[in-house]
Structure 1
Amino acid sequence: MRKATFIIPAIVIVMAIIMSSVFIVDERQRALVLRFGDIRSEIEEPGLNFRIPIIEQIVLYDSRIQSLDTAPIEVTPSDDRRLVVDAFARYRIIDTRQFRLAVGNGGLREADRLLEDILNPQIRAVLGADGVTSNTILSSDRAELMQRITAQARVLAEPLGLDVLDVRLKQTALPLQNLEATFARMRAEREREATDERARGEEAAQRVRAQADRTVVELVSDSAREAEIIRGEADAERNRIFAEAFGQDPDFFEFYRSMTAYERALTGENSSMVLSPDSAFFDFFAQPGGRAPAAVPAPVE
């Protein structure tokens, strides 16, 4: 009974010592073995490992790709048009020993802070370089700018035991205090363009109207000239026909003209005319079948 009293606690203690000395490194992790705070060894391969309990401490680090979102910062391109940009980076731990020396007990949180301190100056330097305008940053050319930032940040992050895989701009915008001025300038430019367009349209409309008025005047003038020519030819033809008719039978022509004059003069049911007694106008009424002594004037058309 007394032996069991001592054996059971001893077995428990031994099991506890064995359990505390065994640790597993996942395939997504890397491990450092610390002895009294100093780095004793580095474990990169996954599997079952052993340590000296109490004396040695195990620190595990994630070996997968990490993400960092930087805080928005202001940059000033070469055209002095300030922009607010925020970026994100992808990185991973490639040297666990160097990483431990750089961040201490801070881990990934401290690594994010140190890496952001590297990225922000590089972003300002690249985006503010000579020849880099706001239009360049906002265009497809900014992919080349991101490659430059990534390359420079990778070099500076190596002492931290980190490999910067990629840096990208998430958002590029104007500062709040500049938005209203920018919108006002854009409105003024659009209004100026609209005014220019309206002026050009009015000028074109005036040219079209002037051309149309000129065409109308020319058409009316040509039509009037042709009408006068046609009327003149018609009058000449009428006079020719009258002359031929008069030459063929002067008595009938005189009679016809007198009848036409009577028809035009004596209109309505009650017509009155005042003439001298010796007027030749009614000779065909006074002397039926006879001729008037004088020619009857031709009626006015």
Structure 2
Amino acid sequence: MRKTTYLLPALVVAIVVVLSSIFVVDEREKALVLQFGQIKAVKEEPGLAFKIPLIQEVVRYDDRILSLDTQTIEVTPSDDRRLVVDAFARYRIADVVQFRQAVGVGGIRVAEDRLSGILNAQIREVLGADQVTSDRILSKDRGELMIRIRDSARVQARSLGLDVVDVRLKQTNLPQRNLEATFDRMKAEREREAADEIARGNEAAQRVRALADRTVVETLSVADRDANVIRGEADAERNRIFADAYGADPEFFAFYRSLQAYETSLKGDNSTMVMTPDSQFFEYFKNELSTNGSVTLPDPVARAEAPDAPAPDAPEAPEMPEPFNLTPVDPAPVDPAPESPEAVDPTPEAVDPAPAPEAPEADTPPADN
């Protein structure tokens, strides 16, 4: 019983000592075995490892790629346009022994503070170098500048046991105090380009409009010329026809022109004319009563055959109050003939009768001597 009492606690203590001397290294980390602050072993391979209990301790560090966001800083490129730069970096612990010696017990927090200072210094140095303008930073050359920042920071980060994998510029903006001025300048530049484009467009439109106006004037001029030629030929043909008609029968031509004058002057629902009853305008309206009471119109053909024959006595016209209304019957629509150069008075009095042919002189016998 007494041996069992001492054996059980000794067994428990032995188990605790064995378990405390064994530790597991994960594949995502590296481990250092420290003894009173001194590095005794480096465990980089995953698996089981041993240490002296109560004397040695194990410090673990992440072996994966870590991320670091730097603070926003202002840089001044060679064109003196200040820029606000926000960057981030990707790094990993390359040498845990050197890392432990560089940062001590501070670990990752101290290492990131020191790495952030290195990155900010390199960003200012690269972006503020000669021949590096703000336009270049904002152009496709930005990738080349980030590679230069990464290479420079990698050289200095080796003293910390770190390997800088990549550096990226997240944002590159203008300071707020310069942002509005820059926007105004950009707006003025765009407005100037727009004004140039509008001016060129107006110039092109003016050329097209002038060409179109000239084409219209030329087309109208040609059309007016052709119309005048056709109109002149038509007038000449009309005058020829009127001349032939006048030469064939002057009296009938005068009668026809009088009818055209009546048709033109008596248009409308109600026509009122004030004139004397014996006016020559209504020469062909003077009717002659026959023996049976019918109305006989003057025969222009007969009058033409016998122009010197005296007209029969017309009945005395009754007195009529003036003015009097004449409501003619609407004839069939006839286009009024245009006036010919040789205008003829529609009244028969205005037309001179054709001169009678002179009788040939009688042959007189020679007188006897």
TM-score normalised by length of structure 2: 0.69
Cα shift readout 1:143-194 (whole Å, capped 9, x = no counterpart): 2222222222211111111111111222222222222222222333333333
> Which one has the largest radius of gyration?
2
Q: Would the alpha carbon gap of residues 275 and 116 (structure 1) be closer, same or farther in structure 2, given more than 3 Å must change?
A: same
Cα shift readout 1:11-54 (whole Å, capped 9, x = no counterpart): 33333322222222222221212222122222222222222223
Number of equivalenced pairs: 293
User: What does residue 363 of structure 2 align with?
Assistant: none
Q: Would the alpha carbon gap of residues 260 and 149 (structure 1) be closer, same or farther in structure 2, given more than 3 Å must change?
A: same
More deviation, 47-56/110-119: 47-56
Counterparts of 1:223 and 1:196 in 2: how far apart (Å)? Answer: 40
User: What does residue 67 of structure 1 align with?
Assistant: 67
Q: What is the 5 A alignment of 1:87-126?
A: 87-126=87-126
Report SS of the residue matched to 1:27: coil
Structure with the higher helix share, 1 or 2: 1
Name the amino acid aligned to 1:85.
V
Cα shift readout 1:193-243 (whole Å, capped 9, x = no counterpart): 333333334434443443333333333332222222112111222233344
User: What does residue 36 of structure 1 align with?
Assistant: 36
Counterparts of 1:49 and 1:64 in 2: how far apart (Å)? Answer: 20
Q: Are 1:130 and 2:130 counterparts? A: yes
Name the amino acid aligned to 1:16.
V
Cα shift readout 1:246-296 (whole Å, capped 9, x = no counterpart): 56x3xx2x123201332244443775667999x9x969x899624458xx9
Q: What is the 5 A alignment of 1:1-301?
A: 1-245=1-245, 249=248, 252=249, 254-266=250-262, 267-268=265-266, 289-291=302-304, 298=344
Report SS of the residue matched to 1:81: coil
Counterparts of 2:206 and 2:220 in 1: how far apart (Å)? Answer: 21
More deviation, 138-147/190-199: 190-199
Counterparts of 1:197 and 1:241 in 2: how far apart (Å)? Answer: 65
More deviation, 234-243/54-63: 234-243
Any unmatched runs of 5+ in structure 2? 287-297, 309-341, 347-369
Residue pair 2:246, 2:253 contacting (<8 A) in 1 also = no
More deviation, 167-176/212-221: 212-221
Q: Would the alpha carbon gap of residues 63 and 244 (structure 1) be closer, same or farther in structure 2, given more than 3 Å must change?
A: same
Counterparts of 2:6 and 2:258 in 1: how far apart (Å)? Answer: 166
Shift of residue 105 of structure 1? 0.7
Name the amino acid aligned to 2:8.
I
TM-score normalised by length of structure 1: 0.82
Name the amino acid aligned to 1:261.
R
User: What does residue 353 of structure 2 align with?
Assistant: none
Name the amino acid aligned to 1:125.
E
Counterparts of 1:134 and 1:163 in 2: how far apart (Å)? Answer: 29
Q: Would the alpha carbon gap of residues 71 and 287 (structure 1) be closer, same or farther in structure 2, given more than 3 Å must change?
A: closer
Cα shift readout 1:112-142 (whole Å, capped 9, x = no counterpart): 1111111111122222333333333233332
More deviation, 52-61/5-14: 5-14
Shift of residue 99 of structure 1? 0.6
Residue pair 2:245, 2:253 contacting (<8 A) in 1 also = no
Any unmatched runs of 5+ in structure 1? none
Shift of residue 6 of structure 1? 3.4
Name the amino acid aligned to 2:21.
S
Name the amino acid aligned to 2:40.
R
Counterparts of 1:161 and 1:59 in 2: how far apart (Å)? Answer: 16
Report SS of the residue matched to 1:80: coil
Counterparts of 1:45 and 1:118 in 2: how far apart (Å)? Answer: 30
Counterparts of 2:8 and 2:252 in 1: how far apart (Å)? Answer: 163
Name the amino acid aligned to 2:258.
Y
Counterparts of 1:275 and 1:237 in 2: how far apart (Å)? Answer: 38
